[in-house]
Amino acid sequence: MLSRVANTLYWMVRYVERADNLARLIDVNRHLLLDFESLDSERLSAFWKPIVLSTGDEELFGSLYETAGSAEVIHFLTDDKRNPNSIVSSIFQARESARTVRDQLSDELWEELNSLYLSLNGGDMKAMAESEPGKLYASIRRAALTFHGIASSTTTRNEAWEFMDLGRYLERADKTTRFLDIANYLPAGIDGGETGAPGVLHWSAILRSCGAMGAFRAEYQGEITPENVVRFLVFSRDFPRSVRFCMNRVDQSLHRISGSPRGTFSCEAEREAGRLFSELSYGSAGDAFDVGLHSFLDHLQSRFNKIGSEIFETYVLMPERVQSRPTETFTPISAALAWQMEQEQQQQ
């Protein structure tokens, strides 16, 4: 497969996943505001600012808007084309990516993505955002789910599929950590409490943003605590939006692309993904709170960025240092075993 095609498919799915996650985040927090009797402008800004901070676009937002009220933040994240990570911008970039690799996609997949793009750029979109925002975000979520379903049903399980899966799960892992990180930015008393610790309403909102409320209740019988939420969204082996689950799929796809067996590595992308997956497999929610939840999540986001950079260098950029690096310098099996033994000793 051409590196250009692989990179385009990877980003096409990342952008769709990004739009889906933002739609969930905005809609859930819109509903969360209904649980507060009243918020003045200062407290309303304190409610929305953590959401902007969690996306990593606070500098751009600050340069475009003077206040962080509901209208400003929702516009910035939904249909502000000056924001390259807004829902509208993400779908535009996904559609442009799909257009350039049209021959790699099924007709049904292209039609679904093109239909979503046209609906978001039509004249009715702005009116719906003002009069029926819930309907708008629900339609975006359904379209994204339909897109993933069609891709799963109509794409051959070859390299194209693996690069699409890489984009989906790396983006999903990143957004899960960012949604969790919102709790660390909340000011004191935002949900009626006396301390800065977020209450059950906010942890419930984070679960809903990840589409995890039903699965979480089934496992924990509704006992919503910070430890349980972090344990479920970061370390769950079975929930498809947990960070551990996503990194398992990332590691799996990388090895299927290269043909190397899992437990070894043939490139830095595989090495980084395998190490992170192992850490998550042996980690716990207690570890996250011991080092500080924000620091733990921030470190994970840095690791995701590192994996993304290594994927680009290995399969797209192909710099001279990667091409010339001798294969025999790698000792993946012994290195993996040594690292695993070190982790097990630390657990004792």
Distance CA 208, CA 27 (A): 10
Q: pLDDT grade, residue 18 (50/70/90)?
A: very high
Q: How confident is the model at residue 214 (pLDDT cuts 50, 70, 90)?
A: very high
Q: What's the whole-number mean pLDDT along residues 193-217?
A: 80
pLDDT at 100: 95
Contact residues for 273 (Cβ-Cβ < 8 A; gap 6+)? 247, 250, 251, 254, 307
What average pLDDT is seen over the chain? Answer: 86
Helix (H/G/I), strand (E/B), else coil: 203: helix
Q: What is the reported pTM?
A: 0.85
Percent of the chain with pLDDT over 90: 67
Q: Is the pLDDT of residue 346 over 80?
A: no
Check residue 167 and give its pLDDT. Answer: 96
Who wins on pLDDT, 330 or 133? 133
141/144 Cα distance (integer angstroms)? 5
Q: What is d(CA 327, CA 266) in angstroms, rounded to the nearest whole number?
A: 8
Tell me the per-residue pLDDT of 242-290, one tens digit each, with 9 for 90 and over.
999 999 999 999 999 999 999 899 999 999 999 999 999 999 999 999 9
| Cα-based torsion angle of the residue sequence 81, 84, 87, 92 in order, rounded to the nearest 10 degrees | 80
Task: Quick: pLDDT tens for 136-185.
Answer: 999 999 999 999 999 999 999 999 999 999 999 999 999 999 999 987 77
Q: Token pair for residue 160?
A: 């194209």
User: Can you tell me the distance from the alpha carbon of 5 to that of 105, in angstroms, rounded to the nearest whole number?
Assistant: 11
State the chain's maximal CA–CA distance in angstroms. 65
Give the residue, 130 or 101, on which the prediction is more confident: 101
CA–CA separation, 342 vs 333, rounded Å? 14
Q: Give me the DSSP letters along 282-300.
A: H--HHHHHHH-HHHHHHHH
pLDDT at 302 exceeding the cut of 70: yes
